[in-house]
Each structure stands twice: as structure tokens, then as C-alpha cells.
Structure 1
Amino acid sequence: MKELQDIIKKHEKANENNLKSALVTVVHLDGSSYRRPGARMLVNEDGKITGAISGGCLEGDAQKKALFTISEQKNVLFTYDTSKEDDSEMGIHLGCEGLIQVLFEKIDSEKKDNPIELLRIALSLRQKAVLVTLFHLDNKEKEQLGTCLLLQEDGTISGNIPLSLFKNSILGDLNEVMNNEESVFKQYKSGQESVTAFFEFIHPPVSLVVLGAGNDAIPLMKFADVLGWDFRIVDRRDTHANKERFPLASQTLVANPDVALNYLSYDKRTFFVLVTHSYKCDYYFLKSLCAADVPYVGILGPKKKLNRMLGELKEGGVSLSQAKISTIFSPTGLDIGAETPEEIALSIIAEIQAVLKGKKGGMLTLKEEVIHSRDSLAIQVELVKN
């Protein structure tokens, strides 16, 4: 998310300086790679790069191809084979063992629904979205259609499908991708004509709400900013919850724990962390959150503190289901031996990321299977009748 935010900002700056740009996107992958489909970088005609499509090994060559795209004003699809022992084109052995399909798109800032504008729309509202990118995987000499359509959660569609032959089929698959909340690849065929579509599901940004504006909340703010997460801070003390101490916060709320949630918006991408260092404040915050449908409530402190709060809640007539209790993490954070505020913040952010992705947060060196499942990269084929 942070990468897309930076790309949009840099493109706006390039426009102000009358610089042309090209968008470089990983649109498919066969095998393994450092980055997944949806990884992007922006290249301006002065050669400056924002974002990345690999761990650094492809960017130099991709920059040259992006500058060619800007010069020729022509979209190009290129395959990087990172499995070659002697890659004469790249000059190095990349070792990732994958075929990476990379799309280079010219950006016409005068065009209302250019790729950057579609990304900007996708990120401007806190909604789910599906972005459609079309390319000819079987014939790289054909005109590559590129990023062309965006569906937002409220049903708004921006852009258009430039292929009338496959338009209805693609539009029909949009809602399915939105409902399943998973990116997919489809190839549409009719006679000798075909096109591959990358349906990219885009989640709203993560929102991190920290309840308690002590010094240990500051590194949480900094980590959230690096990741491109929305960050909000809540405390009953205006000497602590203020813009001077938390300049990167989108909201600084001064409110008592028992009523704070009345002034906060939240959804299933909102994560709460309680770091008030006050049992009473944590208790009332947790009590308020009992009815909230959120995926994560982290509480700083020992397990016995949580058990005490759950006991008092039950005595007060608030009985939590096991499903609700499973969303409460206390002590909050992964076990990485954290002691300092920065280390504790790192462990909390890492645990939130694990919960977000449905992972357990173990060591990758102990993982026997591949890091990322390759099932999601399969291209579904659909035959379209004329």
C-alpha cells in the first residue's frame, strides 16, 4: 500500500514538472520471485524510480525499458527468466527460478482514466476495489492494453474495456472477484483472438488505532507510516494525544475510555492496540470493544491481566464467545525477545501483519513448503462465443 501511495505522489510531482512517466507492473509469475503480481514501480523520463518490481536485480533493465516506453509511447510486455544460469540479457544469474511477466505502460496524464488515476481512485476511498489489467501473453507483439478498469465496493466503475469481444465476460467476472476478495488470472479466447486479464483485488489500507498515547506509542506510529497504514491515537489526556507528539496520525482523539469508540470509525481492517499502562483504562476500552466487529485487539501486559478483565466482564454480565476471545491478543506481539519500546512495537506490528495474512508468525527457515502458494497464479481459461 505504501508503494502505491508513493507512486501516486511521485507522479503528481512529475506532472508538476512536465515530466512524462511509465508504470511498470508485475502482471504474472510462473515459479518464484522476490515480488508478486501487483508489484509496481514508476519511472519518470529523467530516470528517477519510485517503487520496485524485484529485490533490486531487475530495476536497472526495467528502467531502460520504461524509458523506451516513454519515448515510443507504446505499452510493452516483457518476460524476465530468472532461472537461467547464464542470462546473457541480464548479465547476471538471478536465482529466483521464475518467469516474470512485466508490463510497461505509458501514462497519458491527459487521459481521464489512465493507470495512475485508477490507482488514485482505488486508494482515495476506504473501499475494496478490483483493478483489471489486460495483456496479450500469447503474442507480445500485439498492442498491450494495460490497466483499464476499476470496480469499487459501492459498484462504481471507472475506465473501460477496449475489447468489445470480451467486454461482457470481463465485466461478469468483476463482481465474483470482489465477492471472493482474491486476485485471479483469466484468459479469454474466441477463435484466434485471446487476451489475459489480471483481476487485482485491492484491500483498503490497514487502520491502526492505538489506545494510550505514551512514549511507547510513538514507534508504533513510525512503523505504521513505513507500511502505509492509517494511524490514529486516543488518550484521555490532551497533553499526550496531540499533533505535536503524533504528527503522522490521521486522528488524535482526546476522550475517556468508556466513550472513545463513539468518536471512532472502524471496520474489519481496523486493528486496536491498548497501551494505556492503566488497568482501569484498558478495562473500559476492552469493554467498549466487546461489541465491535474487528479482527484484532492487542493488550500490553501479562496474561493474568487479561484473565482478570475477562472475569470482571463476565461478572458484569458481559460474556464473550470463544470466537470473540480469539481476536484478543494479550500479551500483544510476537515472541522475539522484545524489551525496548521500539522492539515491542516491532513485535506488535509483526503480529498484526501475521493476523492480517492469516499466518502464525513462525520462522521461514522452518517452513517446508513454499513461502507463497502458487495455486493463486493459475490462469483460468474461458472460451467466449461470438
Structure 2
Amino acid sequence: MKEIQEIVAAYQQHQNKGLKTALATVVHVEGSSYRRPGARMLVAEDGTLTGAISGGCLEGDALRKARMAMVQGEPSLVKYDTMDDDDSKLGVGLGCNGIIHILIEPIDSTDPYNPLVLLQHIVSQRRSAVVVTLFSMQERRGPQPGTLLLLTEDGLRMGAVQTTALEEQIIQHAQEALLNEAFSFRRYISAQELTGFIEFLPPTLSLVICGAGNDVMPLVNMAALLGWHTAVVDGRANYATAERFPLANKVLVSKPDQVLENVQVDQRTAFLLVTHNYNYDLAMLRNVLPLQLKYIGVLGPKTKLNRIILELEEEGSSLSEMQLQSIYGPTGLDIGAETSEEIALSILAEIKAVFSNRTGGYLRERKESIHADSAFDQPEAFLK
């Protein structure tokens, strides 16, 4: 999501300067590639690039083709076969060993539903969304419909499809993607045979950090680097200040019982209890456990967490197995962290692993492809 945020911001800057732009999107991959479907790069006519579609091997050629698309005013589908003798030079040493299909769309700023308008809406609203992109691999030189529809979890629909019958199919598949929280590839027959990339885009991760000590500063700074939304909460007014946490989205002075009234919480929200204050952490855990969150991190030794849980149970709270599984204490992955920066790294890595349903182990010990459980390695299996 951070990449989309940066692309949207860059697009606005280019608009202010009157520059033409084009959007390059990885829409299909066969075999191995550095980036997966959904990777995007915004190209401005002055050569400015925002985002990435590879590890650096394809950007130069894509820039040339994007400029051509701006002149012609039509989307084009570009195929890079890094297993081919000629194209393989593009991917040497950069993790490319497959066939990569990139859709390049010149952006018409007068179109109320152009791809950047759809992406702008996604980043402006904290809602899960599905973006539908249509392209034809069978008729590469024919019309490429491109990014044309947005559907959000609250039912908002933006964009238009060629025909009513085709639109009904696409909307059904987009609704299924929202329900399953997963992407899919679909095959459609209209005036031409089309492949649909039905892309599920969840909101960016939101991190509520209870505690405003010096050790929280690298947490906020690193989370901002990842594009996460951060809120810092503390009961001490001289600690919880915007001057101390300039990269936080919100800084709040609050007692534990008032925190939830002042922060937005959803299923993409993680809580961190790092106040170094036992009573504050106890009160916050009491308040957030009923929310059934995926991640609640508690800083400090295991004995501290056990004592908090025991106290909650003595109060009469019956903690379910699901609630207990959502508590990570001591918070963070076991990487031998000592400094506040290293601890921040271990905590954020653990949160990312939890929300990605990964264990945080060594990649070299994986038996499957890195992306195997995302199903991106076998997109043909999803064409229906």
C-alpha cells in the first residue's frame, strides 16, 4: 500500500507541473520475477519514476515504452521473457527468471475514472477494496481495457466496463475477492478474450503504540518508512508530543479508559503496550482484548505478562484461547535485539509476519517458493 500512496502523491505533483504520466502495472507473471502482480510504477514525461516493477532490470525499457504510450494515448501490454536469450540480459542477477507481463496505461487527467483516480480513492479511505484490470494476452496489439473498476467493502463502485453482461461477471468476481480477501485471475469473453486481474487491496496496517518513551521513537520512524499508520498514546503530556514524534499520524495524551474513544480500530490494527507502566498496560489489555485483534504486543519479560493475565482472571475475566493467542509477549522476533532500534526491528517484523500469516523463519529453510502460499506462482490455475 505504501507504493500506491507514493504513486498517488507523485501523480498530484506531476499534475501541478502539467506533466503527462503513465502507469506501469505488473499484471501477470509466469515463473519467477522480482515483483509480483500488482506492483506498480508511475512514469512522468520528464523521466521521473515512482514505485518499481522489478529489481531495476525493466524500468529503463518500461520508461521508453511509457513515453511512447503517452504520445499514442493508448494502453499497451508489454511482455518480458527473461528466459529468452535476448530478454534475459534484462534480468541478470536481479531475481528475474520468468515471463513478466506489464500493462502500461497513459493517464488521461480528464477521465473521472482513470487509474490514478481509483487509486487516490483507495488511499483516502480506510476500506478494503478490489481493483479490476483487464488485458488481452491473446491479442497483444489489440485494445487493452486496463484498470477500469473499483469496488470497496462498503459497496462503493467506481468506473465502468464495456458491456452490462461483462460488468455483472466482473462485479461478482470482485465481490468474491472482497469476501475471500484474496486476488484472482479470471477469463472473460467479450469482443475479445480478456484476462481479468482481480486485485484485493486491504488497508495499510495501523499501529497503536501505548507508550511515548525514547524507545518508541525508532518504532514510529520505522513504521512510517513502511507506510503504516501510527498513533502514539501516553498519559504523560510531556512525553506524548508531536515534536517528539513528528512522523506519527496521531499523538494523544490519554488515560487508558479513554484511548479507544480517540483512535480508529479495525481488523488491520495492531496494539503495542510499551509504557513501562504495569498498571497502564494492565488497563489497556483489559480494554483491547474484547476487540478480538490479531496482534497485541506486550513489552517486557514473560513473568510480567503472566502476572497481568492472572490479575485479569482474578477480576473475573475469562480469556478465550483466541484472545490468549492474540497476545505476543515478550513482543518481537528472536533476533538477539539489544538496542531500541533493534527491538523496534524485531517487533515490526513480528507484526508483519503475523498479518501475513507467516512464522518469521529463515527463507532458506522454506521448501516452497517464497510466494507459494500467495498462489501468484500459478496464476493459470485461477483463470476460470
TM class, shorter-chain normalised? over 0.9
Specify the code of the residue in structure 2 equivalent to 1:196.
T
Q: Which residue of 2 aligns with 1:378?
A: 379
Secondary structure of 1:332's aligned partner: coil
Q: Which residue of 2 aligns with 1:244?
A: 243
How far residue 94 of structure 1 moved from its aligned partner, in angstroms, is: 5.3
1:109 aligns with 2:109: yes
Query: Matched residues in 2 for 1:260 and 1:151: separation?
Result: 32
Query: Matched residues in 2 for 1:311 and 1:89: separation?
Result: 61
Q: Which residue of 2 aligns with 1:299?
A: 298
> Are the counterparts in 2 of residues 83 and 93 from structure 1 also a CA contact under 8 Å?
no
Q: Deviations over 1:280-330 (max 9, x none)?
A: 211111111121221110011111111111111111111211111000000
Q: Which residue of 2 aligns with 1:148?
A: 148
Cα pair distance change 1:101/1:305, threshold 3 Å: same
Query: Matched residues in 2 for 1:7 and 1:43: separation?
Result: 9
1:327 aligns with 2:312: no
Secondary structure of 1:237's aligned partner: coil
Specify the code of the residue in structure 1 equivalent to 2:203.
P
Query: Matched residues in 2 for 1:37 and 1:176: separation?
Result: 19
Percent identity, aligned pairs only, is 48
Question: What is the TM-score when the length of structure 2 is the normalising length?
Answer: 0.95
Secondary structure of 1:258's aligned partner: helix
Specify the code of the residue in structure 2 equivalent to 1:101.
H
How far residue 92 of structure 1 moved from its aligned partner, in angstroms, is: 5.0
How far residue 23 of structure 1 moved from its aligned partner, in angstroms, is: 0.2
Q: Which residue of 2 aligns with 1:136?
A: 136
Specify the code of the residue in structure 2 equivalent to 1:378.
P
Secondary structure of 1:12's aligned partner: helix
Specify the code of the residue in structure 2 equivalent to 1:239.
N
How far residue 96 of structure 1 moved from its aligned partner, in angstroms, is: 2.4
Secondary structure of 2:256's aligned partner: coil
How far residue 375 of structure 1 moved from its aligned partner, in angstroms, is: 3.2
Cα pair distance change 1:95/1:229, threshold 3 Å: closer
Moved more, 267-276 or 79-88: 79-88
> Are the counterparts in 2 of residues 115 and 147 from structure 1 also a CA contact under 8 Å?
yes
Backbone CA RMSD of aligned residues: 1.7
Q: Which residue of 1 aligns with 2:199?
A: 200
Query: Matched residues in 1 for 2:95 and 2:19: separation?
Result: 35
Structure 2 unmatched ranges of 5 or more: none
Specify the code of the residue in structure 2 equivalent to 1:311.
L
Moved more, 243-252 or 9-18: 243-252
Q: Deviations over 1:115-169 (max 9, x none)?
A: 0010011121111101010101111011111100000111110010124552222
Q: Deviations over 1:208-244 (max 9, x none)?
A: 0000000111111111111111000000011111111
Alignment of 1:309-320 (within 5 A): 309-320=308-319
Secondary structure of 1:100's aligned partner: strand
Q: Which residue of 1 aligns with 2:211?
A: 212
Question: What is the TM-score when the length of structure 1 is the normalising length?
Answer: 0.95
Alignment of 1:60-209 (within 5 A): 60-87=60-87, 90=90, 92=92, 96-164=96-164, 166-189=166-189, 193-209=192-208
Q: Which residue of 2 aligns with 1:278?
A: 277
Secondary structure of 2:199's aligned partner: strand
Query: Matched residues in 1 for 2:42 and 2:305: separation?
Result: 47
Query: Matched residues in 1 for 2:305 and 2:131: separation?
Result: 42
> Are the counterparts in 2 of residues 189 and 381 from structure 1 also a CA contact under 8 Å?
no
Moved more, 69-78 or 109-118: 69-78
Moved more, 149-158 or 257-266: 257-266
Specify the code of the residue in structure 1 equivalent to 2:307.
R
Secondary structure of 1:200's aligned partner: strand
